[in-house]
Structure 1
Amino acid sequence: MTGNESIARGFYEAGGFLASSYPGSPTVEILDAIKSYKRGYVDWAPNEKVALEMAIGSSISGARSLVSMKHVGVNIALDPLMTFTQTSVNGGFVLVVGDDPGMKSSQNEQDSRILAKFSNMPVLVPSDNREAKEFTKDAFWISEEFQTPVMIQMTSRLCHSRSVVDLEPPLDIEVNGYEPDVSNHAMIPPYTHKKQYEMNERIEKLEGFSTMSSLNKLEEKEGADTLVITSGLLYHNLKELDPQVSILKLGLVYPLPKEQISKLVKQYKNIIVLEEMMPFIENELKTMGVECEGKKYFSFTGELFTEDIKKGLSLAGVMQDEISTEPESFSTPERPPLMCSGCPHRPVFDLLKKSKVTVVGDIGCYSLGLLPPFEVSKINISMGASLGITRGMRKAFNYQGNNDPIVALIGDGTFYHSGLSGIVNLAKSSDKHDNITVIVLDNSTTAMTGGQDTPSSSKYKETDIDLDISSVLSSLGFSRITKVDQFDYQKTKEVFEEEIKHDGLSAIITTRPCALKYKIKEQHYYVNPNVCIGCRNCVNTNCPPISMKKYSNNDKLKSYIDPDMCVGCSVCSQVCPVGAIRPFKGGQ
């Protein structure tokens, strides 16, 4: 199983009832895996805050509940989380967070262990997929035993790697039901003061439990004068090297087993902490008065592989830095992500690039507009931020006497995730002549994370929910709204030019669905080399099937369309000035 599948299996075996999430790599597959067990209630929420609140409601009602999200999603959910951790849990509550050392698919690299301590909740860190399943079950037990929410910290590599997992039958756990308790569920000043003391007492009890717990594992090596304290996948990387050290592998990294560690460290000359990202364990130990080193030898950012650990231990004098006899390795050429063939975002970026307008981007597939070959948007901070940033830029531009138009991009998933408040801010506080154009890229799915539904997906499937983005914009204060099919290139160009020039606030909704999610494919197009003049207008749309090649009897490079990749969006044909690109008909 993958780590994500193992978490799902642990939820199932623990008798979990409700699982909620907002899709975000690396934890996105957890919910789909839980769905496959066809037990309990599983739901995608419009954002992480709502997902967490659903799990809170289920937990308060006595049901074992799990919420999963990537590390930046915790930022969205932190407001209710920081208050919920003050309460005494009824049904077990587990928060699974996927951290991303090295930022393979994230805009930052943050360490969720710090947020767990900040919110007074214990953290379990599995080292492999067997532990991921077992720790999920343990987390529910700890949650109910100590009446606390519990965090499980995963990392990208552990979420997606595979290892053997033993399967067991699920527990039959009843939903206890809701018992009104204002002093526990209404966190207002008359009750919150007492809760601070209760949280402190809970952490002290967990500290005692950690000392006795089998979640932590000590491996002593005879003759070793160095103790390495580590957790997670790094334990296995360290074991591959088999250094002359004893190892304390922590499964429960907060709170630490202080009593056990205080006695243990006296037996060793050197204490080394091996952990990715922030020096969380290292700082906890130093606060206890333990002399140790960690980030002195290991990087504070990125993943730590066996070669990184070996270099660090060599610096610490624990291993010999052997001269490698292996041939010099060559770095793998970078392979930047590309928009799919037929991606509806491509003509949008082609037009925006030609317009040379200031564009503020957002999170989603359209983030690729930052990168070559488009390099259109220059700003991308966090989900939904494009709208507020655009408002602030407009104010600063106006003050400088700069009337240049500004375009804000946002996808339909992000629109509902965290864009609505920004939309309200734009509609209610923009001056009459503020030149701001909001382009909502409505491809009817959360495309970047695997094609999960959004409230706009109702156009393509039967559902009781039918939210129309233009109606939402109108109800929130937008009066100038235009819908356009961006595969109608000329019409889209005219709309973009008109709205960008408009002296005021306007919105454009592009309506083409995700080609990958909905498998939309028309008859492919081909190039007639005898008509093609090699102007590269089609190539400049940056569609993957299009390239330049030499045809027989032609010395000049002409464009060529790979028929196996083309989905027939027709944009290349529309930008061709001489009509050399045509739809394929059988027999041609």
Structure 2
Amino acid sequence: MNNKAVLTGNEAVSRGFWEHGGIIASSYPGSPTVDILESLKKYEEIDSEWATNEKVAFEIGMGASFAGARTLVSMKHVGVNIASDPFMTFTETETNGGFLLVVGDDPGLTSSQNEQDSRFWGKFANVPVLDPSTPQEVKDFTKIGLELSERFHTPVLLRLTSRLCHCRGVVELSDRKEVKPYGFKEDQKKYCMLPPYSNAQQYFMKERMEKLEDFNNDFSLNIVEEADADTLIITSGMPYEVLKELSPKASILKLAMVWPLPIDKIKNIVSKYKNVLVIEEMMPLIEEALRINGISAQGKAYFPFTGEFTVEVIEEGLSKAGIIRPLKGEVSEKTPIIPRPPMLCAGCPHRPIYSILKAAKAVVMGDIGCYSLAVQEPFEVHKTNISMGASLGSALGMAKVYKRMGIDKPIVATIGDGTFFHSGMTGFVQLAQSKENITVIVLDNRTTAMTGGQITPTTGDYFKEENLYSLNIFEVLHSFGITDITEIDQFKYKETKETILASMKREGLSVIIATRPCALNYKIREPYFYVDENICIGCRSCIKVNCPPISMKLYEGKNKKNSFIDPDMCVGCSVCSQVCPVGAIKRSSERAE
């Protein structure tokens, strides 16, 4: 096969892994890398699965690599924090089957709680880092990463960014090349990382990185584009593509492997130039390494340490550095674009929960998932939102302090079913031993909704006929010794409100499991509701549940606005009708024709 296709960066990873004999792939969903595993599902030769969390995904990959299979593990940048425990020890071993860790960074925080630079894992974990610029390079670097892994017995980190993951480009396709696994070759000195074995492996890592640096000095994909200029720009990844659009009067060194750096090669090149400029998103990894090695370079003096490097950002930096003409003239005033922040969907089962918590003025510890949107308007309920599973430990820590201070104020934590299994169970084990007054609401919508609806261990509860694996949260919590557990249907608004308020007043730990599934993922739609404007008193009680189909409208013949429900958006959850004090909101199937 020798044809072409338009692929995203994520799809290019999958295609490259398939073409080059990939066998095992594991991941935990997190933007921007979700579609890597999703697009791998069409390749029958590859065993791909979602793991409980990034640590488990990494450990599955380790085992496959131990057995000699080419392996891919993918996650977003914060996921590497979860996987770092096995990662930092696995890098001491001598990798067998090619092991590629694909990480999606998020410059500009499009969908993340922080903006860490995954290139630094190369320095921290003693592994090479590849930084592609286009979907074609993504596919090519996937192959190169697997080959480098096997040649140098090392995990290889393929670093993508949000724009590269989601952009599209023409990619040349090839047939699959089978690379059969050869099984596990037992050697405790290599794979049992206990002293003194791990002490000896420190020298192996040192020698490995020295060999990789020698390789990188001659790596053909580190490309020099010479120009008649006294400035050399060193860059990599997506900033290179943006830089090329500006056609600066400067030579360019485009790096393919950004760690370890090809220091000898760079020293030979920079000797021809008066100025060296580094363009790299986020932290100054390359700039600092050059200075440590005696190479005078500037970067962050002109370019920001945060955010995505768009054409405008790089243009401004080049202007400050005197590489291109300074930007002239005033920027024309543009009509402002009305922002549309992300919001919970119509019929989302989280809405009634947060409507109740807002009215109760509860102190709510938030977590990571769709329900993170409770931080924003119109709810503004979450008072903290840090990391996966952090709501539980944070609630306990705050409750302990409140107890010492004599503050009798209940603390509430919310967590989803995906996050419960990802990193919430250990927090619940700690809570089960506590005596503090804490209410935890588990939002079990049967899916990892925010990343596209991947399965969780409770998905099988909703699709029993498909014989999916199923794990019951109530039973898991009860096995921890937690006895105050209540299951609710949050679309029964009055019962849900009474349950939450009563739970907040009880002493000790109480857990509420909200059981409605995701309306969007499971395409749940009941007959829509409408407002009888002749009954509506305009009190806006329905507006306060903050469901997108509900607004205020001036009906014909009326002198003040009444509620209105957009029938195309309404999925028939019924919550608005339950909070209406005068019965003005009715189901369309009951409408008299």
Which bin holds the TM-score, normalised by the shorter protein? over 0.9
Structure 1 residue matching 2:174: 3-state secondary structure: coil
- Structure 1 Cα separation of the partners of residues 521 and 288 of structure 2: 46
Structure 2 residue matching 1:417: 3-state secondary structure: helix
Q: How does 1:17-416 map to 2 (within 5 A)?
A: 17-221=23-227, 223-324=228-329, 327-416=332-421
- Structure 2 Cα separation of the partners of residues 329 and 78 of structure 1: 45
- Structure 2 Cα separation of the partners of residues 114 and 333 of structure 1: 37
Q: Tell me if structure 1 keeps the 8 A contact 2:282–2:304.
A: yes
- Structure 2 Cα separation of the partners of residues 215 and 531 of structure 1: 72
Amino acid in structure 1 at the alignment position of 2:16: G
What is the deviation of 1:317?
Answer: 1.5
2:447 corresponds in structure 1 to 445
1:435 corresponds in structure 2 to 437
What is the deviation of 1:24?
Answer: 0.1
- Structure 1 Cα separation of the partners of residues 287 and 560 of structure 2: 64
- Structure 2 Cα separation of the partners of residues 99 and 78 of structure 1: 16
Q: Identify the match of residue 509 of structure 1 among 506, 510, 513.
A: 513
Amino acid in structure 2 at the alignment position of 1:168: S
The alignment's C-alpha RMSD in Å is: 1.0
- Structure 2 Cα separation of the partners of residues 329 and 120 of structure 1: 48
2:497 is aligned with 1:490 = no
Question: Cα gap change, 1:358/1:263 in structure 2, threshold over 3 Å: closer, same or farther?
Answer: same
TM-score normalised by the chain length of structure 2: 0.97
Structure 2 residue matching 1:112: 3-state secondary structure: coil
- Structure 2 Cα separation of the partners of residues 412 and 447 of structure 1: 10
What is the deviation of 1:323?
Answer: 1.6
2:471 corresponds in structure 1 to 467
Q: Percent identity, aligned pairs only?
A: 57
- Structure 1 Cα separation of the partners of residues 375 and 266 of structure 2: 48
Amino acid in structure 2 at the alignment position of 1:102: G
What is the deviation of 1:587?
Answer: 6.1
227-236 or 551-560, which deviates more: 551-560
1:421 corresponds in structure 2 to 426
2:521 is aligned with 1:527 = no
What is the deviation of 1:403?
Answer: 1.3
- Structure 2 Cα separation of the partners of residues 213 and 32 of structure 1: 32
Q: Identify the match of residue 548 of structure 1 among 552, 558, 568.
A: 552
- Structure 2 Cα separation of the partners of residues 438 and 317 of structure 1: 57
Question: Cα gap change, 1:325/1:393 in structure 2, threshold over 3 Å: closer, same or farther?
Answer: closer
- Structure 2 Cα separation of the partners of residues 478 and 442 of structure 1: 18
Q: Tell me if structure 1 keeps the 8 A contact 2:319–2:327.
A: no
- Structure 2 Cα separation of the partners of residues 134 and 587 of structure 1: 64
1:568 corresponds in structure 2 to 572
Amino acid in structure 2 at the alignment position of 1:298: F
17-26 or 310-319, which deviates more: 310-319
What is the deviation of 1:555?
Answer: 1.0
- Structure 2 Cα separation of the partners of residues 444 and 365 of structure 1: 13
What is the deviation of 1:242?
Answer: 0.5
- Structure 1 Cα separation of the partners of residues 260 and 336 of structure 2: 41
Q: Deviations over 1:183-223 (max 9, x none)?
A: 111000020111001101000111011011122111001x2
Structure 2 residue matching 1:163: 3-state secondary structure: strand
- Structure 2 Cα separation of the partners of residues 124 and 403 of structure 1: 53
Amino acid in structure 2 at the alignment position of 1:367: S
Structure 1 residue matching 2:520: 3-state secondary structure: helix
Structure 1 residue matching 2:253: 3-state secondary structure: strand
2:4 corresponds in structure 1 to none
What is the deviation of 1:326?
Answer: 7.1
Amino acid in structure 2 at the alignment position of 1:207: E
- Structure 2 Cα separation of the partners of residues 143 and 15 of structure 1: 14
- Structure 1 Cα separation of the partners of residues 499 and 562 of structure 2: 31
- Structure 2 Cα separation of the partners of residues 332 and 84 of structure 1: 48
What is the deviation of 1:312?
Answer: 1.1
Q: Tell me if structure 1 keeps the 8 A contact 2:278–2:299.
A: yes
Question: Cα gap change, 1:245/1:471 in structure 2, threshold over 3 Å: closer, same or farther?
Answer: same
What is the deviation of 1:314?
Answer: 1.5
What is the deviation of 1:174?
Answer: 0.6
Amino acid in structure 1 at the alignment position of 2:573: C
Question: Cα gap change, 1:249/1:192 in structure 2, threshold over 3 Å: closer, same or farther?
Answer: same
- Structure 2 Cα separation of the partners of residues 328 and 558 of structure 1: 37
What is the deviation of 1:329?
Answer: 3.2
What is the deviation of 1:309?
Answer: 1.2
What is the deviation of 1:331?
Answer: 4.0
Amino acid in structure 2 at the alignment position of 1:47: N
**Alignment length (residue pairs):** 584
Amino acid in structure 2 at the alignment position of 1:227: L
Structure 1 residue matching 2:49: 3-state secondary structure: strand
- Unpaired runs of 5+ in structure 1? none
- Structure 2 Cα separation of the partners of residues 93 and 229 of structure 1: 28
1:456 corresponds in structure 2 to 458
What is the deviation of 1:324?
Answer: 4.7
- Structure 2 Cα separation of the partners of residues 322 and 296 of structure 1: 18
- Structure 2 Cα separation of the partners of residues 210 and 330 of structure 1: 49
Amino acid in structure 2 at the alignment position of 1:162: R
Q: Deviations over 1:215-235 (max 9, x none)?
A: 2111001x2100000000111
